[in-house]
């Protein structure tokens, strides 16, 4: 399932591999530890708090708050044709932090602390990337 998630994939098998399937179905999912209740995004195979590996998927609301952002002009290998583009880091109220492309918001309109929405997306036009998510205005 992770083959849907990126241009380069070094993970042939993972315990959180269903994450990509949830994205494909329009759901933002993190993991929730069954032992201590810690919720994390992106999904983790082991709890970051107690290191337990007994967890379940937990659906996120999609709400986010912008922590920082930058515009990429000199893109890394494989993304040169997409530059310039803006990426942002946002905190999720359920727990965790996300790094995502910022969609349809001018750089001059972005503000630290602004409310955002995390939206799962499918690239139809780029065969190497199938699934991703964007930060957008709510």
Contact call for residues 58 and 71 (beta carbons, < 8 A) = no
- 79-117 pLDDT, tens per residue? 788 889 999 999 999 988 999 999 999 999 999 999 999
CATH code for position 63: 2.40.50.840
Q: What is the pLDDT of residue 100?
A: 95
Domain residue limits at 100:
2-136
Q: What is the pLDDT of residue 133?
A: 86
DSSP E strand boundaries for the chain:
29-33, 39-40, 55-59, 63-72, 85-91, 97-102, 115-122, 131-136
- 60-86 pLDDT, tens per residue? 999 999 999 999 999 888 778 888 999
How many domains does the chain divide into? Answer: 1
pTM equals: 0.79
């Amino acid at each position: 399932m992770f083959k849907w998630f990126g241009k380069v994939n070094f993970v042939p098998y993972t315990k959180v591999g269903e994450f990509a399937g949830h994205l494909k179905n329009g759901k933002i999912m993190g993991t929730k530890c069954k032992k201590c209740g810690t919720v994390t995004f992106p999904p983790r195979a082991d709890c970051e708090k107690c290191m337990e590996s007994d967890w379940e998927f937990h659906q996120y609301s999609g709400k986010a708050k912008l922590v920082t952002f930058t515009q990429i002009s000199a893109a890394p290998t494989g993304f040169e044709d997409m530059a310039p583009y803006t990426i942002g880091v946002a905190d999720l109220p359920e727990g965790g932090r996300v790094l995502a492309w910022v969609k349809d918001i001018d750089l001059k309109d972005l503000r630290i602390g602004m409310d955002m929405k995390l939206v799962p997306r499918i690239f139809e036009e780029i065969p190497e990337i199938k699934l991703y998510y964007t930060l957008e205005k709510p």
